[in-house]
Structure 1
Amino acid sequence: MRIIELISKELNIETWQTKNTIELLLNDNTVPFISRYRKEATGNLNEEQIRKIKEKYEYYQNLEKYKTTVLKAIKEQGKLTKELEAEIKACTKLSELENIYLPFKRRKKTKADIAIENGLEPLAKMLFHKKIDFEIAASNFFNEIFNSVEKVKEGVSHIIGQWFAHDKRIRETLQNYLLNYGVLQSYKKKEFKNIKTKYEIFSDFSQRIKNIPDYRILSINRGEKEGVLKVNIKIDEKYKNKLFKLYLTKWEKNNQIILNGLEYGWKNMLFPSIVTQIRNILKEKADNRAIEIFARNLEQLLLTPPIKKKRILAIDSGYRTGCKIVALNEYGKFLENNTIYPVPPFNDYKKSEKIVLELIKKYDLNLIAIGNGTASRETQQFIVWLIKKHNLKMKYLFVNEAGASVYSASKLAKEEFPELDVTVRGAISIGRRVLDPLAEFVKIEPRSLGVGQYQHDVDQKKLKEKLDSVVEDIVNKVGVNLNTASPKLLEYVSGISPNIAKKIVMYRKKLGKFNERQELLKIKGMGKKSFQQCAGFLRILDGKNPLEMTGIHPENYETTGRLLNLFGFNVEDIKVNNEVKSVLSQIFDDEKKLEDLSKKLNVGIYTLKDLISELLNPGRDPREELPQPLLFDNILSFEDLRIGMELQGTVTNITDFGIFVDIGLKESGFIHKKFVKDTIRLNQIVNVKITSIDNELKRISLEIID
């Protein structure tokens, strides 16, 4: 099997791109490094394409290993023919290989195996080759176990049934039939018949498999797992009969016995086995879709723009235990904490007012961040009342606190704030998510960030791998400040292990800030390979060389210097000289000038364009190009809502069935998928109109307006 050709065809890329990418991966280069700094070698493949190459290469490598195992096992049984060997070697899918191997696989002895051991296989074969009088023929195969015509007939039926159930052609055809014409049914179990559950839509459900949305599969599976639903797959009898005809002969009496075998094989082996395969295919497809959505949403969440230079009052609300409040400076440094009780059952506005005002004045706080969990809307009422009463020049915003409790109880949080209570750590996390969302989100297991659909029902290993790769890609895309990054953030930088991340922070504490990237080589364990992988993604904002604040890799410093010198500039000019930007921007969009420069500097076009892009925007943070979060100074209640009312809101979750929008209420608004454009992003500010209100269930339906 020619793996490189197969991968290239599947991904619609050139074979040289696949070959070079695999070689880079096998030489311990990370995906972010390859994508960013080896564009000439890969033909400018992005992270997703490189990861797919990696995934498919590993799949085919494992398939080749399994082929070796299968060939060895069949050979040991003395059943390996040249034709079978060629068929196995030609397999490009694991499912194909499994279907070929099935008749030879070691398994618990079946009724058919017992019949074969007792010599009935020749009689079974005879039925397909000539017309026979079965009673006479059967008498020649009697033994101690099969000592009557009926027992021999039953044994032969079992053999035929097993042949039929293990036939690769039959299995693949039935799988195709079920995927295209099969119907999935679900209904509530008897014990839930008169109990209302969240699975009412599936209490008497039937839909053709090929038309069922992926998210519906996951919902049905969850209902089945929780013991509420019973699930079946059905197919029209005509498809079964089509398969049976492939095994029937021109002799009617022979066919009567053959049909008994086919019915036995269908009911006891073939149909249940293929149904299991179909359920697994549907589950895998639905898992992949849910993981894809979660990954896309996570990517957008991690790119949430920071609100810089704000001194934060962060609030983690609660009823009986009160609201934990913390003051943070503009760098996220913890200053002070307290507890207030402005919400039920205490409703202590007076004392809460005094505490909050003192903190605001003491630390010159200018933005309030409220976690969007328990008691958040009651806290919002108190904050709006306070702002209005004292005419405070402040605004507030809601912060998605998903995962804050996970972080606050983690080992990392204990190391950061050993003296503080769990709830106070949670409030700190909420506040820091405003100042630098990415730096805070990386401290939390991605699965706990709550921006997916059915994330607890999908393959958790696959989910973790995908989400970890998203975090890695975004961290490296944004870049990391070498002098301020936490060990957890540094762990996601290409080429940096958790151990090296800790050593970097220890180095800073002991010797002060880094002045140039090369200093990293002084850290024990940081070899040349690790340095090569990580250097370009680390930023030093006030280093010796202005290029240290860019995404330009040290291996390209010399080339960058020559590029600037060609136009009469030096690296110091990129900080203050606008003429540099004027000259380089004219080159960036001129393909002829780029080609000429590429030859002069002996550097690839992709790399050259990246160098110019970085010089045009030194120290650029890609998150800053996205819209800032909505800030409020007033309040809206559910009772204020009216159909037709127009509002602004923030997209908080995107699913296959629609999107959820925070409009400043405890209840999010929902926009059905048919009204949603593909271009909608998480955190996007949208103008919406209320189309319906369900007062009983507190549901708000919206549509986007331009």
Structure 2
Amino acid sequence: MTPSPTVKSVNARLADELAVREAQVAATVRLLDEGATVPFIARYRKEITGSLDDGQLRLLEERLGYLRELDARRTAVIASISEQGKLTDDLRTALLTADTKSRVEDIYLPYKPKRRTKAQIAREAGLEPLADRLLADPTLVPEAAAADFLGEDVADAAAALDGARHIIIERAAEDAELVGAVRAKFWSDGTLRTSLSSSDAAKNPAAQKFRDYFEFSEPLEKMPSHRVLAVMRGEKEQVLSLNLDGGGDDVYHAMVAQTLGVDLTAKTPATPWLATTVKLAWRVKLMVSAAVDARVKLKQRAELDAVSVFAKNLKDLLLAAPAGTRTTLGLDPGFRTGVKVAVVDATGKVLDHCAIFPHQPQQKWAESKAMLGALIARHGVDLIAIGNGTASRETDALASELIADITASGAKAPAKAMVSEAGASVYSASAYAAHELPGLDVTIRGAVSIARRLQDPLAELVKIDPKSIGVGQYQHDITPGTLARSLDAVVEDAVNGVGVDLNTASVPLLARVSGVTDTMAEAIVAHRESTGPFRNRKALLKVPRLGPKAFEQCAGFLRINGGDDPLDGSGVHPESYPVVRRILDRAGVTLAELIGDERSLRSLKPAEFADERFGIPTVTDILAELEKPGRDPRPAFSTATFAAGVEKVADLKPGMVLEGVVTNVAAFGAFVDVGVHQDGLVHVSAMSDRYVSDPHEVVKSGQVVKVKVLEVDVDRQRIGLTLRLNDTPQQRGGQQGGGQGRAPGQQQPRGDRPKSNRPKDSGRRESAPPSGSMAEALRNAGFGR
């Protein structure tokens, strides 16, 4: 059925939501429908979209899918009701103006084909007129009125009244306006309450991480995502029982009564019977559906927040500073099984590998150091990458001693850095790792991955499912599809934002480039291996199954360094090369002379080179790219230096100032590795002297920071840290943040503190406690990495 002209189109609705012109939306939708990717549109189609950025484009793409699904469902519902012969003008208008899927379903509910309900059976028994009479005339005596409806299918007055009640209850439960109002009221006034699932549940040691929720309540609207997911995990593990309470029943009774036209205060014969019917309609139908809806909404909101946190952390990790093309020695630490060692060259190719046993129980310290020294000398190692898992500090001490010995001998010693090994074991056991490193043991593959991560985090991490990288908040409790879509978009944006070396990129990295499928990526690598390195971007068109459309999407993001055309090593799209030629002609110089000449390039006016196809935004980007062609947007490489002699939590003392690496950022703070196997927590209130609403405003995963130790709980392995180095551990007195002073206007914490034991590749955070100061929160930690 053709939508009413009074109903806004999808494009108009998107324009309203994004606060942009409808023409911008229409142009973007057309590009998306033609198969263009968000990175391509954001980078190379600015004139068409009016310079919408990648964030706006991602939101537009997501909302476009939702609104199209909404319109499709709306059309199907209208057709269904029309086929029943029940479609009225008012009903059509209500459906056409419904702005959410849930609203459409609420309106459709009375007309939706369903199994025979008790109300339907009562209608078939001819009891609907009885329900109508009692609602219309409460002066009737229910039992007397029911006497007129007795028959073969209705044995007595009680059965008749029971049937009439089912009919009235179903009417209330299927009234779209009432259902919507009850849902909104339940959400705004509702509370989530938790309790122990059984008297024996608390006896289970594993249940202790949920002890702050053994008796807990919080308003639905105010409950943050990490607490929602924590209590839902507690329920899943059969430790907690959850109950959603919408508030006092009286207000809901009044809402139902008003919808049914029942006066609960009237002194008439039918009023008690009608009042009971109203209460049952609420208790049996509306309350249950409202609680289910609120629970779904609560989880969806929590998931969106958690996915947002994960996405930000993943982006920061992917865009972490690369050490670059330097020969690197990777160490995957361990005690009993030894430290796995791999040396890779500047391109990531494995040169050598072995295992050493410097720690207990073998304790071959000197022998291990000698073996590493020989490898460093033989291969000219520039960097040592140490995985941050079990035995990492002990292995770091070994590397430090070795570096000191090399320096003392007068030789050039390599630098060392601690590297996150989250997901390394997932990669090691993957089919791609087996294909990429077929002759190596799974354990050695982990050391190779650690070395390559230091060289180029992005190129190595794309080989791992983003969910396994381990920088999320309750990612194992999030609907897989919701998480995957968001994380895939983050990876795609990161890869295309940096650009990819066409002649060295792996299949997983190429597959993340705009317009390149897995099959195309494999074909590109196969072509490269059979014919040699690509000399120019046009050669991509010789790759099987990579046609003009795919070339258009991917060419600008693929780099060829040292090829036939210097522009192929830049972010300038081949379609824009004629613009560069015009610039060269006007400037009267060669490309080699112009590239990198900031003064000359900045003197040029983009408007002078723009035309109908390539407008000022594109020309501006071209000039910026020519200033620093192929510029890597990632920060410069740096490493944290862990304090000597500080290797375990017991070595920490309040007041110490240490260097560390941010390992994860949550809604309530950041986790920092200071080299003692346990991440410390910097609460959001201890990040700045100003108000901080989002920790990502201050720090990001992988960032090197200086922190001060505020509190240490050795027994429970808890560390309280602050980024405000003027804070003192003695500042307590009920102030938040482990006792540190609170900046004016800074929010009080909700007390979500992490447990920071770090099982390898767990990627998990355990449940977080609901309230208290930082000191209390650290004592009651419930988040583990």
Do both proteins adopt the same fold according to a TM-score greater than 0.5, normalized to the shorter chain?
Answer: yes
Q: Aligned match of 1:501 in 491, 504, 521?
A: 521
Contact 2:179 2:286 (8 Å CA) reproduced = yes
The residue type paired with residue 607 of structure 2 is E
Q: Aligned match of 1:243 in 255, 262, 270?
A: 255
Contact 2:641 2:660 (8 Å CA) reproduced = no
Say whether 1:52 aligns with 2:62: no
Contact 1:158 1:264 (8 Å CA) reproduced = no
Alpha-carbon deviations, 1:534-577, whole Å to 9, x = none? Answer: 110010111111111110001100111111321222222245xx
Contact 1:627 1:685 (8 Å CA) reproduced = no
CA distance in 1, matches of 2:202, 2:566: 71
Alpha-carbon deviations, 1:192-216, whole Å to 9, x = none? Answer: 1344521111100011111211111
Paired residue secondary structure (1:621): coil
CA distance in 2, matches of 1:18, 1:663: 47
Say whether 1:65 aligns with 2:75: no
Say whether 1:87 aligns with 2:103: no
Say whether 1:173 aligns with 2:185: no
Q: 2:25 corresponds to which residue? A: 18
Q: 1:590 corresponds to which residue? A: none
Say whether 1:213 aligns with 2:224: yes
CA distance in 2, matches of 1:667, 1:565: 61
Q: Aligned match of 2:638 in 628, 632, 637?
A: 628
Contact 2:189 2:219 (8 Å CA) reproduced = yes
CA distance in 2, matches of 1:159, 1:138: 14
Query: How far apart are residue 673 of structure 1 and its match?
Result: 2.0
Q: Aligned match of 1:193 in 199, 202, 206?
A: 202
Paired residue secondary structure (1:49): helix
CA distance in 2, matches of 1:198, 1:129: 56
Q: 1:571 corresponds to which residue? A: 591
Task: Give the TM-score, by structure 2 length.
Answer: 0.86
Q: 2:729 corresponds to which residue? A: none
Q: 1:396 corresponds to which residue? A: 416
Q: 1:255 corresponds to which residue? A: 271
Query: How far apart are residue 640 of structure 1 and its match?
Result: 3.3
Query: How far apart are residue 632 of structure 1 and its match?
Result: 5.7
Alpha-carbon deviations, 1:432-483, whole Å to 9, x = none? Answer: 0011111100000000001110001011111111111111111111000111
Query: How far apart are residue 631 of structure 1 and its match?
Result: 5.0
Say whether 1:321 aligns with 2:337: yes
Say whether 1:612 aligns with 2:620: no
Q: 1:124 corresponds to which residue? A: 131
Query: How far apart are residue 633 of structure 1 and its match?
Result: 8.8
Query: How far apart are residue 285 of structure 1 and its match?
Result: 0.5
Say whether 1:423 aligns with 2:443: yes
CA distance in 2, matches of 1:21, 1:254: 61
Query: How far apart are residue 596 of structure 1 and its match?
Result: 4.2
The residue type paired with residue 314 of structure 1 is G
Say whether 1:562 aligns with 2:586: no
Alpha-carbon deviations, 1:589-641, whole Å to 9, x = none? Answer: xxxx4434436x97311101100110111121111x35523256945223432
**1:304-343 to 2 correspondences below 5 Å:** 304-343=320-359
Alpha-carbon deviations, 1:290-344, whole Å to 9, x = none? Answer: 1111111111111011112432111111222211111112221101111111122
CA distance in 1, matches of 2:414, 2:558: 35
Which deviates more, 63-72 or 413-422? 63-72
CA distance in 2, matches of 1:479, 1:616: 17
CA distance in 2, matches of 1:309, 1:478: 16
Contact 2:645 2:651 (8 Å CA) reproduced = no
Query: How far apart are residue 77 of structure 1 and its match?
Result: 2.9
Say whether 1:524 aligns with 2:544: yes
CA distance in 2, matches of 1:524, 1:312: 35
Query: How far apart are residue 389 of structure 1 and its match?
Result: 4.5
Contact 1:142 1:152 (8 Å CA) reproduced = yes
Say whether 1:113 aligns with 2:129: no
CA distance in 2, matches of 1:561, 1:679: 43
Say whether 1:100 aligns with 2:117: no
Alpha-carbon deviations, 1:89-148, whole Å to 9, x = none? Answer: 221210101111112222232222211111111111122222323233211111223221
Query: Larger % of helix: which?
Result: 1
Say whether 1:651 aligns with 2:662: yes
The residue type paired with residue 647 of structure 2 is S
Contact 1:157 1:260 (8 Å CA) reproduced = no
CA distance in 2, matches of 1:97, 1:342: 66
Contact 1:648 1:686 (8 Å CA) reproduced = yes
Query: How far apart are residue 14 of structure 1 and its match?
Result: 1.2
Which deviates more, 414-423 or 188-197? 188-197
Task: Give the TM-score, by structure 1 length.
Answer: 0.95
5+ residue gaps in structure 2? 1-6, 726-785
CA distance in 1, matches of 2:321, 2:469: 17
Q: Aligned match of 2:375 in 359, 362, 365?
A: 359
Q: 2:286 corresponds to which residue? A: 270
Which deviates more, 264-273 or 671-680? 671-680
Q: 2:746 corresponds to which residue? A: none
The residue type paired with residue 541 of structure 2 is L
Paired residue secondary structure (2:678): coil
Contact 1:370 1:396 (8 Å CA) reproduced = yes
5+ residue gaps in structure 1? 588-592
The residue type paired with residue 192 of structure 1 is A
CA distance in 1, matches of 2:145, 2:83: 33
Contact 1:290 1:452 (8 Å CA) reproduced = yes
